[in-house]
C-alpha cells in the first residue's frame, strides 16, 4: 500500500532541509526522484545513490513561474512519467508588519504560493491529459493555522497554501488527483536558523513542543510517503500537522 516503485516524484527545493528528507523517504519507498531548485542538489543526489532509483535534477529559479510547463515536460522526457508533486520550496522574510517592504511581500508570495499554484496546474494538466492518477503534496506550516509574528507575507502565503489545498482538491479529485498538505512544526533547517540561534525564542519554542525537541527532516518521511501512496487514495484537501504536538498545546 505504501510502495512507490514505478512512480516518479517531483520535489522542489530538495538540495537541503525538509525537501532533502522527503526525497530520501520517497526514494526509500521506491519512487524515482526529480529534484527541482536553484542550488546544486549534489548532497541530496549522493544520499539518494544508496537506493535503486533513477534521478534527474533541474536547476531553475522558482520565484518565476514561467518555466513550470517545461519542468513537467523535462521530467517526463528524462524519467518517463510523473505521478507525485511535492511543492516544498519556500522562503521566509522577517520584519515588523509596519516596516514590511514590497519586495519582502512579493518574493515570499511568488515562491510560496504563486509558483506552487502554477506548477500544480501544469502537473494537473499533464495528469488529466494522460487520464491517470496523481498526488500533490503542498508544504504548509504552523502559520497555516496561526498568525505568527514579524512574518506577515509568510503567514499569508502559508494560510493561502491551506486554502488552495482544499480548493484544488475540490476541483481535481474528480480527475483522480489527491491534493493534500503537510504542516511541519518547528524543524531544524536553514529556514529556522535565526530562531534556533535566538536563545529566548529557542527556549520558548522547545517549551511548547510536547515531544520536547525540534523536528528532524526524516520526521516528515512517513507523512509524505502516506500522502504520495495508494494508502491515501480517499484522503482529500487535508493539512496534516507533523509538529511534535505543538498545535495540541
Active site residues: 154
215 close to 223: Cβ distance less than 8 angstroms: no
Instruction: Candidates 43-51, 71-79, 83-91, 224-232: pick the segment binding ligand NAP (CB under 6 A).
Output: 83-91
Q: Is 187 in the site for ligand NAP (CB under 6 A)?
A: yes
Q: Is 189 in the site for ligand NAP (CB under 6 A)?
A: yes
Q: Is 184 in the site for ligand NAP (CB under 6 A)?
A: yes
Q: Is the alpha carbon torsion for 152, 187, 116, 173 positive or negative?
A: negative
Three-class SS state of 138: strand
Q: Is 141 in the site for ligand NAP (CB under 6 A)?
A: yes
Phi, psi of 10 (to 5 degrees): -105, 125
Task: Please tell me the count of residues contacting ligand NAP according to CB under 6 A.
Answer: 26
Q: Is 38 in the site for ligand NAP (CB under 6 A)?
A: yes
User: Which residue, 159 or 192, has its beta carbon nearer to ligand NAP?
Assistant: 192
Instruction: Candidates 74-82, 120-128, 129-137, 181-189: pick the segment binding ligand NAP (CB under 6 A).
Output: 181-189
Residue 35: count other Cβ atoms within 10 Å of its Cβ: 25
Beta strands in the chain (DSSP E): 8-12, 32-37, 55-59, 84-87, 134-139, 177-184, 239-242
Residue 181, judged by CB atoms within 10 A of its CB (0-12, 13-18, 19+), counts as buried
Instruction: Candidates 31-39, 74-82, 145-153, 230-238: pick the segment binding ligand NAP (CB under 6 A).
Output: 31-39
- The grid coordinates listed for 191 are 529556514
User: Which residue, 16 or 95, has its beta carbon nearer to ligand NAP?
Assistant: 16
Among 8, 34, 62, 209, binds ligand NAP (CB under 6 A): 62
Among 4, 9, 10, 18, binds ligand NAP (CB under 6 A): 18
39 close to 63: Cβ distance less than 8 angstroms: no
- The grid coordinates listed for 21 are 528528507
C-alpha 40/C-alpha 44 separation (Å) is 9
User: Which residue, 9 or 139, has its beta carbon nearer to ligand NAP?
Assistant: 139
Shortest spacing between CB 17 and ligand NAP, in angstroms: 2
Shortest spacing between CB 97 and ligand NAP, in angstroms: 19
Do β-strands 55-59 and 84-87 pair in parallel, antiparallel, or remain unpaired? unpaired
- The grid coordinates listed for 226 are 502516506
* Residues at the site binding ligand NAP, with contacts judged by CB under 6 A: 13, 15-19, 37-39, 61-63, 88-91, 111, 139, 141, 184, 186-187, 189-192
Amino acid at each position: 500500500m505504501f510502495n512507490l516503485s514505478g512512480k516518479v516524484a517531483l520535489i522542489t527545493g530538495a538540495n537541503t532541509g525538509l525537501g532533502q528528507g522527503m526525497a530520501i523517504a520517497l526514494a526509500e519507498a521506491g519512487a524515482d526522484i526529480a529534484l527541482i531548485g536553484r542550488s546544486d542538489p549534489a548532497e541530496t543526489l549522493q544520499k539518494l545513490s544508496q537506493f535503486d532509483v533513477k534521478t534527474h535534477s533541474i536547476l531553475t529559479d522558482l520565484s518565476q513561474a514561467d518555466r513550470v510547463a517545461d519542468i513537467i515536460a523535462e521530467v517526463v522526457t528524462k524519467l518517463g512519467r510523473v505521478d507525485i508533486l511535492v511543492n516544498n520550496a519556500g522562503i521566509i522574510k522577517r520584519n515588523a508588519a509596519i516596516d514590511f517592504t514590497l519586495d519582502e511581500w512579493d518574493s515570499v508570495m511568488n515562491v510560496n504560493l504563486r509558483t506552487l499554484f502554477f506548477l500544480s496546474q501544469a502537473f494537473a494538466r499533464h495528469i488529466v491529459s494522460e487520464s491517470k492518477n496523481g498526488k500533490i503534496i503542498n508544504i504548509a506550516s504552523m502559520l497555516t493555522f496561526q498568525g505568527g509574528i514579524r512574518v506577515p507575507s509568510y503567514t499569508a502565503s502559508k494560510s493561502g497554501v491551506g486554502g488552495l489545498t482544499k480548493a484544488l482538491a475540490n476541483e481535481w479529485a474528480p480527475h483522480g488527483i489527491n491534493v493534500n498538505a503537510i504542516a511541519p512544526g518547528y524543524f531544524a533547517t536553514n529556514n529556522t536558523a535565526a530562531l534556533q540561534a535566538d536563545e529566548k525564542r529557542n527556549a520558548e519554542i522547545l517549551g511548547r513542543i510536547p515531544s520536547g525537541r525540534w523536528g528532524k527532516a526524516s520526521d516528515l518521511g512517513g507523512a509524505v510517503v502516506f500522502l504520495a501512496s495508494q494508502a491515501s487514495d480517499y484522503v482529500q484537501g487535508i493539512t496534516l500537522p507533523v509538529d511534535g504536538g505543538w498545535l495540541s498545546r
